[in-house]
Structure 1
Amino acid sequence: MVDENSLSSLRELFLSYYSPTRQELRDVLLDGIISVDTNVLLDLYRYTPSARAELINLFSAFGERLFIPYTVAKEYQEGRLGAVLDHLGEYDDARGHLEAARERAVSALNFLAKRRSFRRDEFELELSRLDSAFRAAERRVAALASDYDLDPEGLIDSDPIRKSLEPIFNGKVGRPLNPAAEQAHRELFGSENRTEVLPGDSDAKRKPIARAANDYLIWNELKVEVARRGKPILFVTSDDKADWVGRERGRTERPRRELVEEMLRDCGVRPYMMQPAKFLELSREALDVAVSPGTVEEASASEQGQEYGSAPPIVVHGLSDEPKRVRLARCCTPIPGDEIVGRTARGRKVVVHRTDCQWVAQSGPEVEVSWTDVPAELEVSLRFTVEDEAVFYAAWPETLEQLSASVRILRMQSSEDEMPATAFVLLNFESPMTAAQISEVIGTIPGVGVVARTSRNLVTNL
């Protein structure tokens, strides 16, 4: 019995403010409940066969201490095929990014050559070197794609990963919450009046509420299992968003303080969270299981995500299944203020075009989309007339500073006897701006005519 008048320690009274020690993590690996998030299971479809086998073998090493929340298992079953299609789509994206990077590099050389910074023979030599380097990278991407061992069609009836997991997970998957409890959790999550942050809140900005609430259900399923067993739990997840994870100077080493306090209050033990790479490393030490450095490296790369840039602030309407990825079309680079339309693509992706984009009619089926916010990073292609190039170039650096922008491509088209010239520009913006704001700032340069959006392809292919 605890004496209410006795004194205690800082750590004991404020445990949620402390990151777990290495010994505490080792102890939970050796004796606690081990649970994994959906993203860890779906990442198995991105790993190489050897890394995949080592992680599955590690799951089996925990025996009866392994626990898979019902909602995680359900999301895994629903997401397997999408994970494979998404991964295959990443090879296509990589090819596209390589081609775009090659175009930018060639444009930079062309710009220097036109300014006579390069002799023609030097230019041709550097162009040849660039081309060789990019073609080698493209061949490597093609080889990686051809080596991928999973076929989307085959997964429907025969999934080798699921087949390996089934005997390990047998008797370790939790039951769903009872309907009344689930309904209460969903109502709380969807309440507009609550002030507390719940797991899933970060996803609610880009997912339907019903889908985002799954994180909150998972959290409560973990609590139910901890209360049943009376042991601390380690939740392995790639998720590092602020609704789950506590941050100290950029480090994410523990669950959010409120979650630690909630589980201590309701279950009497603290929860632990760990990303897959660290989980693999510490498990190798604690359990003496085979985990190669290559597997840790693959897990670490997966934690960093497969996206190029952050997800755009777009809401997709009317799809029965949530898209795996939403990206802005590179052909027309839409930004807030533009009228937009979504087109579905392979791998449950949605590509967002401007409605006046010349390529939109050649894309996949149409879906309704809308802006939710101004993106933190933008790429914009523009065209405008320039009466006096000398005046323009003198004012251009200050204009870029005002825009917080950097130039990826700048080309001037003019003839000796014809003015004004036409400028074609591809810009990267570091700060949020709308199309109207961009046009207004550039339009203040003396001699600049109407600033209009143009096709990215037109700028890069001039």
Structure 2
Amino acid sequence: MGQADLPLVEQFRSWILPESGVGAADRKAFFEDALVVLDTNVLLSLYEYNPAVRNQVLSALEQISERLWLPYQVGQEFVRGRRRVIIERSKELGEAPVAIDRHLQQAYKSVLAASAHVKRLLKKYANDDAAQSSLDEAINQATVKAMLAEWQGLLKDHAKQLKSGHDLLPAAVESDDPVLPEVAALFGDRLAPPTDYAVVQRRLEEALSFRFPNEIPPGFADEGKGKPLDRVGDYLVWAEILDRADTPGVKRVLLVSADTKKDWYEELDGKGGKRPWPQLFEELRQRTGAELRIEQPGQFFQGIKEFLSPGTELTTATYDEIDRAAGAVAQRSAEKNSSVTDDNAHVVTPPDGLALAAYRAAGLTTRTVKQLAESGRRRHFQWWLIGVTAELGVRVPDDDEPLVELCAAVRSEVRPAPEWCPGTALAQGEWPYRSDTWVAPWFVQLVQEAGEADRLPLQRLAARQLQPKP
């Protein structure tokens, strides 16, 4: 009797055997007949790719599309997160030249300061005028500027190429998203229906009161997030997978995700070694009888090429790009400060002085608007001003600023919310989009309270935010 046949080993094979109890030789079977679930980070990464890689990835997914299934929670996170991914990428690439200049200016000052420090030492301890003159000749304002200028051009060229290599702009998501129809075609009608609110409430309570305190995966690492529903997103996906796996015909589930946080992966040796938590395999097997496999995106697409379509146009560079993009999406979701949106702006306090810095950067001058920018009762205005000045390049954002997804006005045939006002609420001649916009109520009130000197600049900022970004 081999080790794998022993009753004790069989019962606890998720913990004992390699591949969490599923032999490596069985991997092919998962690609041939498993239910395939793509995590949100895999779908959102489609917005991170350049067009060539995106087309290769979509073509590869077509090879397995008949077995793709979309949990409702993943679908909701996907459609709500598309714009954020594009904005974050566009923002970072758009701000790259300014960031390069800022870093090189710091380098310029540091090099001159280092040279001055050494010259002081030469004078103090050697009184060596010749060495000081030699340093002055080699390292001075002109030579440092010339050297940095060469690097500045090189760095900006790379940043420009990165920006031009991406074809998706924030405005595309609002009007004509080219990725969404492709994703919809892949899944067809293999979509989970919305989960009943009573079921969501029961799962939320189970996660927060039992699973998370006992660190039962997945999702317990998200316990510190803002709203309770934000904390239990991973578990809601997992609960949907358990339900779907407990239906006739599902023998295997292949979950593809770039999420390697501690609530999905167990650390093995303290040196970076990880494996998916055995509890995940054990829970799925006990509750549904199905087997589970979890793969990273690049590994998954390699499997498609190996087992299903050897002719698939996926290169080593493409696998690297797949892992990079999905990992970037997952990392932002795990580590970046929560986005500030219309839903939570009223309860999120801006960092000290940030709204005032945005007020000054925007060229606002009246005392009334300044007081509003400093008032804890006007969070929507504060966060919008912080976000729009960063988005439009009016100021350089701090590295640790949260992403602000807040607009003062939107173009839409449908009123965004009952309290939003039509564009005609703003004065003719001041607001250029009166006939085809809805305006946030807090912005209408702001414009009414602002003095004449700031009223027009505020509306111009809101109007610029509506324009397509280059």
1:361 equivalent in structure 2: 359
1:272 counterpart (293, 307, 312)? 293
1:363–1:80: structure 2 CA closer, same or farther, 3 Å change rule? Answer: farther
- More off after superposition, 202-211 vs 81-90: 202-211
Of the candidates 284, 298, 303, which is equivalent to residue 321 of structure 2? 298
Count of residue correspondences: 339
Matched, 1:121 2:137: yes
Structure 1 residue 138: Cα displacement: 1.5
Report if the CA contact (8 A) 1:37-1:237 is conserved.
Answer: yes
Per the alignment, residue 59 of structure 1 pairs with 61
Once the two structures are superposed, the pairs formed by residues 121-200 of structure 1 within 5 Å of their partners are 121-123=137-139, 124-191=142-209, 195-197=213-215, 198-200=217-219
| Residue of structure 2 in register with 1:429 after alignment | none
Cα shift at 1:97: 3.9
For each residue in 1:54-96, what CA deviation from the matched residue of structure 2 results, as whole angstroms up to 9, or x when unmatched?
1111221113211111111111111112221121012135444
CA offset at residue 232 of structure 1? Answer: 1.6
Q: Identify, as 1 or 2, the structure richer in helix.
A: 2
The answer to whether 1:230 aligns with 2:232 is: no
CA distance in 2 between partners of 1:360 and 1:78 (Å): 27
Name the structure 2 match of 1:219. Answer: 238
Name the CA shift for 1:38/1:315 in 2 (closer, same or farther; >3 Å). closer
| Structure 1 contact 233–270 (Cα < 8 Å) conserved | yes
Aligned pairs (5 A) from 1:92-107: 92-107=94-109
Conserved? CA contact 1:245–1:253, under 8 Å: yes
Given that residues 254 and 273 in structure 1 are in contact (C-alpha distance below 8 angstroms), is that contact kept between their aligned partners in structure 2? Answer: no
SS in structure 2 at match of 1:75: helix
TM-score (norm 1): 0.65
For residues 3-18 of structure 1, what are the structure 2 equivalents within 5 Å? 7-8=6-7, 10=9, 13-18=12-17
Q: Deviations over 1:381-418 (max 9, x none)?
A: xxxxxxxxxxxxxxxxxxxxxxxxxxxxxxxxxxxxxx
Cα 1:359/1:19, change in 2 over 3 Å: farther
Aligned residue for 1:262? 283
Question: Tell me, what secondary structure is at the counterpart of 1:273?
Answer: strand
Contact conserved, 1:68 with 1:174, CA < 8 A, in 2? yes
Q: Relative to 1, partners in 2 of residues 1:173 and 1:8: Cα closer, same or farther, differing over 3 Å?
A: same
Which one-letter code corresponds to 1:355 in the other structure? G
CA RMSD of aligned residues (A): 3.4
Identical columns (%): 20
List per-residue Cα deviations over 1:165-223 (Å, max 9, x = no partner): 22221022122334432221012223389632243332231332112222111001111
Comparing 85-94 with 359-368, greater Cα deviation is found at: 359-368
Equivalent position of 2:88 in the other structure = 86
Contact 2:39–2:257 (Cα < 8 Å) also in 1: yes
Q: 1:13 to 1:305 in 2, by over 3 A?
A: same
1:213-253 per-residue CA deviation (whole Å, 9 max, x = no partner) reads: 22111001111111113322111111111112222235566
Report the Cα offset of residue 262 of structure 1.
1.2
Higher relative contact order by CA 8 Å / sep ≥ 6: 1 or 2? 2
**1:234-277 Cα deviation digits (max 9, x unpaired):** 11111111112222235566432222221121112332211112
Greater share of strand = 1
